[in-house]
Chains A and B, each alone.
Chain A
Amino acid sequence: MAISTKEVEYLALLARIQLTPQELERFAGQMDEILAYVEKLKTARTEGVSPTSHVLELSNVFREDKVEPSLPTEKVLANAPDREGPFFKVPQIIDPAG
């Protein structure tokens, strides 16, 4: 299947990456090549085969409902690119309740 630069642009928006026009061009070509190779999957006989998303067998791993210490707020914010007091700071969000 052929991927247009427009489709790459849409995928990049979903993935929140501002690709340059050169990147769009290059990735579209490379995606075509890779997806043409991936087409091979269509020749595998998968009727009646169940999907594997985990290689392990079912194993119910739980934690008990107990409170454990949280991270001190200063450590929480130690890596923050921008902050205000005990909060992380980000550019304004348009829809306050969205």
Chain B
Amino acid sequence: MTEELIRKIESLDPKLHAFAWFDPAFAREQAKGLEKGGISKGPLWGIPVLVKDNICVEGVPTTCASKILKGFRPPYDATAVEKLKKAGAILLGMANMDEFAFGSSCEYSCYGPTRNPWDPTRVPGGSSGGSAAAVAAGLTALALGSDTGGSIRQPAAFCGVVGMKPTYGRVSRYGLIAFASSLDQIGPIARTVEEIALLLQGIAGFDPRDSTSGNLPVPDYQKELEKPVKGLRLGVPKEYFVDGLDPEVKKGIDAALAEFRRLGMSVTEVSLPHTEYAIPTYYVIATAEASSNLARFDGVQYGHRSSQGKSLLEMYTQTREEGFGPEAKRRIILGTFVLSSGYYEAYYGRALKVRTLIKKDFDRVFGSVDCLVTPTSPTPAFPLGEKMEDPLTMYLSDIHTISVNLAGVPALSVPCGFTQGGLPIGMQLIAKPFAEETLLKAAYAYQQATGWHKRQPPS
């Protein structure tokens, strides 16, 4: 099984470029270790998992696809990785991504862009583009991604696979190299909802090393999957169906809603009135936190250090100039600005208040519905290079996924059709905090009733 997969990766990945790091010896060694026994054969035993390049694996280069972390081998495992190792999963390697998860296209990587398996001239989405593309192309069974503003769901939608951002606090962030600490979550990417449940089960739970992880019991997701969906109340937020929504995407969602009705769920229109503020709120909060989180990449303890810096100040400024790509620099500067004296209240302070309004929208709507249904992205995968020099347009493409992170609620993207050109369309389901099981059973019922997940990209 492992050997077959290694051959496949070696033949397909040079074109796809989903891996940031791959060493067959690493996978083989783990497979051998498993054969020796010692780990009980649970559902993840022997299952290959690709890890996003911002989730620490002990002794393995974990670089956030950034030059500034080149060669960094963490002396510890992320909690999610530690759990997978204990369950006997085989870590295949590290998945390509937008540098520090800054991006929606997987183009801002120091290793070069990942391509979409359905159309190599298009992006796989981002920032977990490598994870989603590898799953779609069959180069791994499961993958870990991270989602700060849609970074799991949007590439899952673009690549025709399932991806979930769990509730903030459901999965430990220990070992996830932070982009925006109050928004980041690790989550699973796979082809089917069952597999999502399996991988989520493997990584979820309270972690005493993460003060922000929720100290709540984790349900048995496999059992929850099969629970009846009849009578489930779905809400369709009208603010998510406005200008800029691709008609083919809308058609896909409408068909899915019809399917949900057939499965016995009710569908009503609801309102999330502060949706229009989500993107500016997000870009203020996320860049502010990022500017601070990325300060530590300074050339002192690990990673890149410029050979140019003679003084301490030069060491810092040259190292960071050479080490960070353009989008990382842009976000650090923006984040520094919104926190700087004289601007804090107008930008950061205000964004925190608007975040409260956005969160309250969700609190309110979940009083009357169990689950929201929206497009994951307003468009299918766009061509490589299209938005690279236009950051604002790139930011605007996150419109449907961002509120979820601001509110901390769980959401899942599931394929719901294809465009005429053969590109996957993704549908997003959103539930209230710690109700991942609602997402899973609705998506599972949908997948059982349709069959979109069975389609495979041309190889």
B316-A16 in contact (CB<8A): yes
A19-B329 in contact (CB<8A): yes
Interface mask (B412-424 → A, CB under 8 Å = 1, otherwise 0): 0000000000000
B291 CB to closest chain A CB (Å) equals 6
Counting chain B residues whose Cβ lies within 8 A of the other chain, the interface size class is: 35 or more
Question: B247: which A residues are within 8 A, CB to CB?
Answer: none
Which of B26-34, B210-218, B442-450 is found at the contact surface with chain A? B210-218
Considering the chains assembled together, what is the distance between the CA atoms of A53 and B292 in angstroms?
15
Q: Does B356 contact A (CB under 8 A)?
A: yes
Question: B304: which A residues are within 8 A, CB to CB?
Answer: 81
Number of A residues whose C-beta is below 8 Å from B?
53
A37-B352 in contact (CB<8A): no
A46-B354 in contact (CB<8A): yes
B317-A8 in contact (CB<8A): no
A84 CB to closest chain B CB (Å) equals 13
Complex partner residue of B283 from A11, A15, A38, A46, CB under 8 angstroms: A38
Q: Does A2 contact B (CB under 8 A)?
A: no
Complex partner residue of B274 from A44, A92, A94, CB under 8 angstroms: A44
A15-B332 in contact (CB<8A): yes
Question: A59: which B residues are within 8 A, CB to CB?
Answer: 215
Which of B82-90, B125-133, B307-315 is found at the contact surface with chain A? B307-315
A57 CB to closest chain B CB (Å) equals 10
Within 8 A of B (CB), among A53-82: 53-56, 59, 61, 63, 71, 75-76, 78-82
Within 8 A of A (CB), among B285-312: 291, 295, 298-305, 309-312
Considering the chains assembled together, what is the distance between the CA atoms of A52 and B403 in angstroms?
13
Question: B336: which A residues are within 8 A, CB to CB?
Answer: 11, 14-15
Q: Does B50 contact A (CB under 8 A)?
A: no
A17-B321 in contact (CB<8A): yes
Question: A30: which B residues are within 8 A, CB to CB?
Answer: 330, 391-392
**Contacts known (A8-B333, A42-B350, A78-B75); A50 close to B280, Cβ less than 8 A:** no
Question: B121: which A residues are within 8 A, CB to CB?
Answer: none
Question: A51: which B residues are within 8 A, CB to CB?
Answer: 349, 352-353, 355-356
B150 CB to closest chain A CB (Å) equals 16
Considering the chains assembled together, what is the distance between the CA atoms of A81 and B301 in angstroms?
7
A46-B329 in contact (CB<8A): no
Question: A97: which B residues are within 8 A, CB to CB?
Answer: none
**Contacts known (A44-B357, A80-B301); A54 close to B182, Cβ less than 8 A:** yes
A40-B321 in contact (CB<8A): no
Question: A44: which B residues are within 8 A, CB to CB?
Answer: 274, 277, 350, 353-354, 357
A residues whose Cβ falls under 8 Å from a Cβ of B: 3, 7-8, 11-20, 23, 27, 30-31, 33-35, 37-42, 44, 46, 49-56, 59, 61, 63, 71, 75-76, 78-82, 88, 90-94
Please name 6 further chain A to chain B contacts, defined as beta carbons within 8 Å, in addition to the given A16-B316, A81-B304, A81-B305, sorted by A numbering. A11-B333, A16-B317, A27-B333, A37-B279, A38-B280, A53-B182
